[in-house]
Structure 1
Amino acid sequence: MSLVKFKSRPWGNLITSDFFDKDDFFGNNVWNKKLDEPALNIKETDEAFEVELAAPGFAKKDFEVTIDDGCLNISAESSNSKEEKEENYTRKEFSYNSFEKKLHLPDSVKEEDVKAKYKDGVLSFNLVKKEESKNHKPKKIEVV
């Protein structure tokens, strides 16, 4: 008689696929963050906020950017399809990509002066600050 090591699964038959990683089931990679969100950088200067959003593979026409109720809404959708017909086969390829991102703007941003630019796969925004917030210096508070 030979013994075979049995790998128990605490979830029973719920998860039987070898493609399922139980470490990711409770980790940060599956449900705790969206996998389809683009990377985002925000830099603050005295004059403005500079926002960069990594969105390669899109064209300028694929983006829709709006400001509504103090929120910068960015969405993009792109699809491509290609069909090749030969004498004894047909090959079809397609792709679809989309994302949506919402950023709550600080009160110090002049919404009417927001500028956007897309170049080399990076969507950039220049969010100009209002005059009263440009000269604002932090006030030091003494702890007693």
Structure 2
Amino acid sequence: MTLVKFSNGAKSNALNPFTDVFESMFNDSFISDRLTTKVPAVNIAETDNDFHIELAAPGLKKEDFKINLDKYVLSVSVERKAENNQDEKRYNKREYSYSSFVRSFTLPETADQERIDAEYVDGILRITVAKKEEAKSLTREIAIK
């Protein structure tokens, strides 16, 4: 038996009274999760000395990530493949999801490509890109003549 949501009191299409049934079926999170590509959310911040990129990617290991730099394009990729279990289990249904993604960021010319660090802690990949010395903002008071 399947439970189907109906929108009580909402306008339904007179030509298709089953709109709610099909919307419920195709908007189900179980189905839509497998039909859409998941890309981790990103926060990008800038300080006087660095650029900070944070990717929310829980459930991974630091070995799953590949970070590459090609000219001024920084790419973060993950590819997780299904593990081969050598046990004698015969599955009736298996829903483990293994996925891959690539996120690319164009670094500004002020970024120092030689000083890029990354760490993965508590499901967050943090990448710090240092700024070139000449690009660091100088703060000073300007005297009026």
Q: Which residue of 2 aligns with 1:64?
A: 66
Q: Secondary structure at the match of 1:110?
A: strand
Question: How far off its partner does 1:78 sit?
Answer: 1.4
Q: Which runs of 5 or more residues in structure 2 are unaligned?
A: 1-11, 28-35, 140-145
Task: Please identify which structure carries the higher strand content.
Answer: 1
Q: Quick one: which of 32, 42, 48 aligns to 2:44? A: 42
Between the two proteins, the alignment pairs up a number of residues equal to 113
Q: Distance in 2 between matches of 1:56 and 1:73?
A: 18
Question: How far off its partner does 1:112 sit?
Answer: 1.1
CA shift digits 1:47-94 (9 cap, x unpaired): 1011110111111111111010200011001134457646xxx22634
For 2:108, give the aligned amino acid. P
Identity %: 36
For 1:77, give the aligned amino acid. E
Q: Indicate conservation of the 8 Å contact 1:74/1:102, yes or no.
A: yes
1:8 aligns with 2:15: yes
Give the alignment's TM-score, normalised by structure 1: 0.66
Q: Distance in 2 between matches of 1:121 and 1:59?
A: 8
Map residues 1-144 of structure 1 onto 2, 5 A cutoff. Answer: 7-8=14-15, 17-18=22-23, 19-20=25-26, 35-81=37-83, 82=85, 85=88, 90-91=90-91, 93=94, 94-136=96-138
Q: Distance in 2 between matches of 1:74 and 1:52?
A: 11
Q: Pick closer, same or farther for the CA change 1:17–1:49 going to 2, 3 Å.
A: same
Q: Indicate conservation of the 8 Å contact 1:79/1:95, yes or no.
A: no
For 2:38, give the aligned amino acid. D
Q: Distance in 2 between matches of 1:52 and 1:136?
A: 26
Aligned-residue Cα RMSD (Å) equals 2.8
Question: How far off its partner does 1:35 sit?
Answer: 4.7
Q: Pick closer, same or farther for the CA change 1:6–1:83 going to 2, 3 Å.
A: farther
